[in-house]
A = this chain, B = another copy of it.
Amino acid sequence: FRNGLFVETEDKAFSFKLGGRMQIDGGFASSADTMSRSNVGFRRAQIWLEGKAYKDWYYRFQYDFTNAGVTGIRDAYIGYRAKLLPEEISKQPVTFQIGNFFEPFSMETTSSTSNITFLERALPTVLAPSRHTGAAVTIGDKLWSVKTGIFSTSPQDTAVSPPAGESQYWDAAVRATYAPIQEEDKLLHLGSSFRYHRPNNTTAATDGAFLRPGAGTEREEADILGGSGTWTRVSTAQDLSCGATAASLNTSVTGLAGLYYPFARRSSCLKYAYSYGFEAAAAYGPFSVQGEYIATRYERDATSAFLYSNGGGSSLQFSGYYVQGSWFLTGESRAAVYGSYDKNFFTPGTFGPIQIKDPVNKGGWGAWELAARYSELNLNNGGLIPGSLVYPSLLTGTPATALQKALSSTATLGGRQDNLTIGLNWYPVNGFRLQANWTKALTLVAPSDRPYLNGEHPSLFLARANVFW
């Protein structure tokens, strides 16, 4: 018996766990565009069921009640492990996984929100893929791991079903980790990720968060205070695949009801996109540092993009990075909870829950952690289409709008933001955590359609009561 509900047969061939997590947030922000001044609410309210059967078979189903219907499904997969590799490569079984789970990309993204240091993930993780439905295979050993898979849509996509006659988009992703130093109080972790995204004509528009970077529903260093929760975004949050425009054209062509015309579908502006990232983490006693760099490159068809009045050039690159440090005042070490492949075979190379040295229930003070993070996301990109081509089609708007759009068309000026976050965490007993974060936007280069944000240095304070079992 453990915290929560966990049962296991004596031979450990079967086990079952009913877990859950509640995150109750409250805070306030200094004024900035869509940000509100104060609010309280639930950030997450999840339960999950997971189990092991016949020693080698696994399943996990996780649901977040702050979403409605199918969009609340988080992890939902089946796993199977088999000893396939020769001993000289790995002593560990190979792990197969099918269902909905995080694509293998980035340490911060694939870590559980119960175990990340701050309230929200760092800014550059908007460029990383979220959970998707697909299949993956993972190999590795104590020191290293490689997880790769192919994926398609997810229950959280805005539109799960592609239009008639079309195929769903697909991704291929891989993440490799290597941790040469893994001791009780020392850790060195290195990793790298790559993801290829193939939009299939118009359907890719359903993956909104990826095709409109900074306009998605994910909240990174943002919070429950804001509507969209983001301060940077590609100007007017245009869909880089021209997806929405193309869909409406189809409708007008096939408007004559009852008759069947072949669909006159336009190809997507976006030929393909790929992302890559590098990560490193180290711990020495109670001190730890962690950092990542993530970049995404969109290869577009410039002619199509121009015809559909969807500016932004033929080849865009967005990127971001973060560096963070943490100090456990009470002596705990993140090195001790590093999950190498032999311990955490579904998401190797991430951190698990801290082992509190002196919890409150034994008369201690729990664990106290001080942390700071510097985080940047850069959505500015030099334009590749000559400005003269774009101006005319925009002159139908008001002069001010046309000028503004023209600027953003020749160069996708989605803005740049640099944030500093200071955090204080208290872990009284296992499963409970109280967190406070203060974030200041040190640099805020506004997106081209919201120039009034230039010069703002908004800040926000957020506190969270977190319980998981």
A78's partner among B22, B39, B45, B163 (CB-CB below 8 A) is B22
- Residues on B with C-beta less than 8 A from A258 are 400-401, 404, 449-452
Instruction: Say if the beta carbon of A308 comes within 8 Å of chain B.
Output: no
Give the CA-CA distance A59 to B53 in the complex, in Å: 26
A465's partner among B3, B98, B361, B429 (CB-CB below 8 A) is B98
The segment from A108-116, A165-173, A288-296, A317-325 found at the interface with B is: A165-173
Asked if B59 and A65 sit within 8 Å, CB to CB, the answer is: no
Asked if B165 and A36 sit within 8 Å, CB to CB, the answer is: yes
Asked if A54 and B164 sit within 8 Å, CB to CB, the answer is: no
Instruction: Say if the beta carbon of A31 comes within 8 Å of chain B.
Output: yes
Rounded to whole Å, the gap between the CB of A384 and the closest CB of chain B is 25
Asked if A22 and B54 sit within 8 Å, CB to CB, the answer is: no
Rounded to whole Å, the gap between the CB of A355 and the closest CB of chain B is 15
Asked if A65 and B56 sit within 8 Å, CB to CB, the answer is: no
Rounded to whole Å, the gap between the CB of A267 and the closest CB of chain B is 15
- Residues on B with C-beta less than 8 A from A57 are 361, 428-429, 431-432
Give the CA-CA distance A123 to B353 in the complex, in Å: 48
- Residues on B with C-beta less than 8 A from A224 are 161
Give the CA-CA distance A428 to B79 in the complex, in Å: 13
Taking A59-B467, A61-B20 as contacts, is the C-beta distance between A167 and B37 under 8 angstroms? yes
0 or 1 for each of A416-453: is its CB under 8 Å from B? (1 = yes):
00000000000011111000000000000000011110
Rounded to whole Å, the gap between the CB of A281 and the closest CB of chain B is 29
Give the CA-CA distance A65 to B155 in the complex, in Å: 10
Instruction: Say if the beta carbon of A162 comes within 8 Å of chain B.
Output: yes
Asked if B69 and A70 sit within 8 Å, CB to CB, the answer is: no
- Residues on B with C-beta less than 8 A from A49 are 18, 20, 47, 469
- Residues of chain A in range 296-335 having any CB-CB distance to chain B below 8 Å: none
Taking A51-B4, A359-B54 as contacts, is the C-beta distance between A76 and B429 under 8 angstroms? no
Taking A37-B162, A51-B4, A61-B47 as contacts, is the C-beta distance between A76 and B22 under 8 angstroms? yes
Instruction: Say if the beta carbon of A41 comes within 8 Å of chain B.
Output: yes
A41's partner among B22, B41, B54, B155 (CB-CB below 8 A) is B155
Taking A69-B72, A78-B22, A224-B161 as contacts, is the C-beta distance between A7 and B5 under 8 angstroms? yes
- Residues on B with C-beta less than 8 A from A100 are 24, 42
A432's partner among B78, B164, B469 (CB-CB below 8 A) is B78
Give the CA-CA distance A7 to B163 in the complex, in Å: 46
Asked if B69 and A39 sit within 8 Å, CB to CB, the answer is: no
Give the CA-CA distance A26 to B66 in the complex, in Å: 27
Rounded to whole Å, the gap between the CB of A155 and the closest CB of chain B is 6
Taking A1-B14, A164-B35 as contacts, is the C-beta distance between A42 and B361 under 8 angstroms? no
A9's partner among B1, B20, B67, B429 (CB-CB below 8 A) is B1
Instruction: Say if the beta carbon of A208 comes within 8 Å of chain B.
Output: no
Give the CA-CA distance A404 to B258 in the complex, in Å: 10
What is the total number of residues of chain A having a CB less than 8 Å from a CB of chain B?
93
Taking A14-B3, A69-B66 as contacts, is the C-beta distance between A78 and B467 under 8 angstroms? yes
Asked if B168 and A38 sit within 8 Å, CB to CB, the answer is: yes
- Residues of chain A in range 157-203 having any CB-CB distance to chain B below 8 Å: 160-168
Give the CA-CA distance A37 to B164 in the complex, in Å: 7
Asked if A67 and B70 sit within 8 Å, CB to CB, the answer is: yes
Give the CA-CA distance A63 to B3 in the complex, in Å: 21
Asked if B41 and A153 sit within 8 Å, CB to CB, the answer is: yes
Instruction: Say if the beta carbon of A360 comes within 8 Å of chain B.
Output: yes
Asked if A66 and B70 sit within 8 Å, CB to CB, the answer is: yes
Taking A16-B4, A258-B449, A465-B99 as contacts, is the C-beta distance between A45 and B166 under 8 angstroms? no
Asked if B404 and A38 sit within 8 Å, CB to CB, the answer is: no
Rounded to whole Å, the gap between the CB of A270 and the closest CB of chain B is 18
- Residues on B with C-beta less than 8 A from A78 are 22, 24, 432, 465, 467
Give the CA-CA distance A452 to B5 in the complex, in Å: 57
Asked if A76 and B24 sit within 8 Å, CB to CB, the answer is: yes
Taking A57-B429, A68-B69 as contacts, is the C-beta distance between A162 and B40 under 8 angstroms? no
Closest to A450 in B: B258
User: What are 8 residue pairs bridging A and B, where the CB atoms are less than 8 Å apart in the complex?
Assistant: A16-B469, A24-B99, A34-B164, A40-B133, A53-B429, A54-B359, A57-B429, A68-B70
Q: A24-B100, A55-B361 are in contact. List 6 more A-B contacts (CB 8 A).
A: A37-B167, A39-B161, A47-B61, A54-B429, A66-B69, A260-B452
